[in-house]
Chains A and B, each alone.
Chain A
Amino acid sequence: MQLMSDNVMNKSFDLCNIEQLDTQTAQRLHSLGIHDGSLMSVVRFFPMHGPVIVEIEQQQIGIRYKVFKLLCGGQLQ
């Protein structure tokens, strides 16, 4: 398992790649006022690539790890 540790926690990402998600997920994110360029910070990871809690636009949401990785684009290292 890849260790997602301190270097990611509480760091902000410029959200991107929303249009690469499936339409339903993209639509739901849009409805939450989330768009490319929104600031996303990581609050918590669940083990075994479980869901990720992120804070975007002053709200906390849980998303799947795969979606999170895509939204981070190349910023996740």
Chain B
Amino acid sequence: MTTVALMGNPNTGKTTIFNQITDTYAYVGNWTGVTVEKKMGNIKHSEIVVTDLPGIYSLNPITKDESVAINYLLTDDADIILNVTNAGQLKRNLLLSIELLEFGRPTVIALNMIDDLKRSGIYYDINTLSEKLGCHIETTNARNKDGVKELRDELLNMPADELPDGSALELNYPFMVKQAIRQASEKLISAYDMKPAFARWVAIQYINKNKIIRKYAVKNDLKPLLEQQGYYDAQNFENKIFNTRLSFIDETLTSATKNLESTKNVEMTSKIDKIITHPLLGLPIFILIFLFMFKLSFDWIGTPISDQLDALLSGPISTYADKLLISIGAMPFLRSLIVDGVIAGVGGVLTFIPQIFTLFACISILEDSGYMARAALVTDRIMQMIGLNGKAFIPLIIGFGCNVTGIMAARTIEQPKERLITTLISPFMSCSARLPIYSLFVAAFFPKNQALIVLSIYFLGIAVALLMAKFYQVIFKVKDSTVFIVELPKYHIPRLDIIWRGTWDKSKGFVKKAGTIIFAGTVLIWLMSNFGPAGFVTDIDNSFSALLGKVLLPMFAPIGITSWEAISALFTGIMAKEVISSSMMVLFHTSSQTALIAAFGQMFTPVAAYSMLVFVLLYVPCFATIGTIKSETGSTKWAAYSVVSSFVIAYAMSFIIFQVGSLLF
């Protein structure tokens, strides 16, 4: 089996190419030590496995997601490296290519976005490039699928085992550097049994102050390198290496450049940017775009479809299933489990799929168009006030969809402290799983101001998140951060297939959850509400869930929650927030939202209802989020801290709202 590692700068179209050359793919987690996502797929009709790795600027990582690539080179033996580059910015893309070519594996460089290059009036002579760099080169324009077939054939026709080692690129580094590399690699080969190309690459990376390689050297006790570290650094070899690489690239590109005749250079990007990144209009436009997104998801498209799904499910489907079960003579026990438990609970959650798909489709469009980088820039000044930078805004926005993906997106933030803060405040962003319960409550208590009430909950979440960030900034003594470099890619007209794939990738987790954890949660709450200390109970007041709820009642009374059903539902909600609403359905033995809304009216005052919504917004993150916090921070302590702190904050906020609200209304 041949393996291909897909590597390159961020935003060069790696994933687009990956999606086009592979047919099956899967996310795989759990990398050595840290959990990070890589994506693997098979090239159509072959045994070749392609691994899509996060984008990197160089092999020396600054952020956590960037360290995946170098760790991959160190631990997994990629047979072929496919280096995807942005042809329009070949100069800096080649800085990474050189590092990869020095690794000595058979390499194919794809000059992607070749059309952008031609439009700028330049073209490169492929043969010259290929000869200078000593590797295969293909030109592609992956968004239009140009050249992708040729690239795939190239990979298929590359017998990995026939290419000998020693084909690594050797630059003409200054004499002192060259000598240092030679001496170190000779010792590494003889004393540590390394392959020549690998030894040379390790030596260069070590001299070049690659953090991961320096750790690798300590771990494997690579004495020839460790002993010379002081000398390498004192001589400033790092800079010498950089300068040699840069002049090699300049020389190569100069000899390969062909100027094309007149070009019609339509600068769409700068025209759009005149408005989008306007110093004063930028922020209002950002808010408008997100408002539009939420309107689309919750008012215009998502909710109407949702309502129809709900009507179908609680009406015909429920009745039909019940009749069918009676006709085949199923026990009342089983009938209740299926109709009141599974159909009501799981079905009730599935009706929110339209909203979630619409929201994720919008986020995918923004990602694909190139707007996200601008959003980071526009919001940077505000984020700076709370000790974060504009890049933290994107994970938080993604958190509106799902806190888990939001926390994972925080990997692109450079400073560990800022990343930790972003991780800790992410759960306060109101994820889509909390929407079902909001929808139920606003329909019951605030029928005239539904959108306004939900919006106020979202903003309360943001406010709490920002306040906590400020608090952490003071506690952790975060200094004014400086690493904030955002590339502004050219705008693309979003492509339907890319949007679809992005939307599906993001929302399939939700669908999967419905079949697993939400299903389990529903069955659990059904069992708890149908069994008590005395066995099967017909009166729900004697069930386990009633007992549990009643024990906790005194604790929840000060925040306005006086029904044990709500407490039991909140309890199961820790499994997944969607389960709160499905639990309610089960506890009230109904699959119709209208019936549930009527039942609520007797249990809550509007103020108590609002207090309950605030509590749902802020209290303990779901299992998946807790797990992600643990894996991303690498500590159980932070996960536990998150659980406790969010519960305390939720209780305090609801307490204030209920007590003050009760006085006022």
Contact = CB atoms under 8 A, between A and B. Distances in A.
A33 B484 contact: no
B89 interface: yes
A46 B242 CA distance: 32
Interface string A48-77: 111101000111111110110000000000
A60 B488 contact: yes
B182 interface: no
A7 interface: no
Given A32-B92, A32-B485, A66-B482, A47 B280 contact: yes
Interface string A25-36: 101111111110
A59 B484 contact: no
Interface in A10-37: 21-22, 24-25, 27-35
A49 B246 CA distance: 32
B485 A28 contact: yes
Contact of B381 (A30, A44, A51, A61): A51
Contacts of B482: 21-22, 24-25, 64, 66-67
B380 interface: yes
Interface in B47-65: 57-58, 60, 62
B380 A25 contact: no
A45 B279 contact: yes
B123 to A, nearest CB: 15
Contact of A62 (B91, B92, B380, B480): B380
A63 B391 CA distance: 12
Contact of B488 (A22, A45, A50, A62): A62
A34 B487 CA distance: 13
Contacts of B243: 35
Chain B interface, DSSP helix/strand/loop, else mixed: helix
B485 A48 contact: no
B380 A46 contact: yes
B380 to A, nearest CB: 5
B95 interface: yes
Interface residues of A, number: 32
A63 B279 contact: no
Contacts of B418: none
B167 interface: no
Interface residues of B, number: 37
Contacts of A30: 58, 95, 242
B592 interface: no
B606 to A, nearest CB: 40
A63 B381 contact: no
A33 B92 contact: yes
B57 A53 contact: no
A31 B277 contact: no
A47 B485 contact: no
Contact of B58 (A31, A45, A49, A60): A31
Contacts of B488: 53, 59-62
Given A22-B483, A58-B89, A61-B488, A47 B246 contact: no
B392 to A, nearest CB: 14
B92 A47 contact: no
Contact of A32 (B57, B378, B484): B57
Nearest to B480: A66
A61 B390 CA distance: 13
Contacts of B58: 27, 30-31
A35 B241 CA distance: 13
Given A46-B279, A48-B381, A51-B381, A63 B246 contact: no
Contacts of B486: 51, 61-63
A51 B487 contact: no
Interface string B466-489: 000000000000001011111110
A63 B484 CA distance: 6
Given A46-B282, A53-B277, A29 B485 contact: yes
B184 interface: no
Given A57-B91, A59-B487, A67-B482, A51 B57 contact: no
Interface string B367-388: 0000001001110110010000
Nearest to B282: A46
Contacts of B120: 58
A34 B485 CA distance: 12
A50 B380 contact: yes
Nearest to A51: B380
A15 B96 CA distance: 22
Contacts of A61: 485-488
A35 B380 contact: no
Interface in B72-103: 88-89, 91-92, 95-96
Interface string B483-503: 111111000000000000000
B565 interface: no
Interface in B120-136: 120
Contacts of A46: 279, 282, 377-378, 380-381
B279 A47 contact: yes
Contacts of A63: 484-486
5 contacts: A21-B482, A25-B482, A33-B246, A45-B279, A58-B89
Interface of B: 57-58, 60, 62, 88-89, 91-92, 95-96, 120, 242-243, 246, 249, 273, 277, 279-280, 282, 373, 376-378, 380-381, 384, 390, 414, 480, 482-488
A-B pairs with lowest CB-CB distance, top 10: A33-B92, A50-B381, A31-B57, A62-B486, A60-B488, A62-B377, A31-B58, A33-B91, A24-B483, A51-B380
Given A31-B92, A51-B484, A61-B486, 11 more contacts: A21-B482, A24-B483, A25-B485, A34-B92, A44-B277, A51-B377, A57-B89, A61-B485, A62-B373, A62-B380, A64-B380
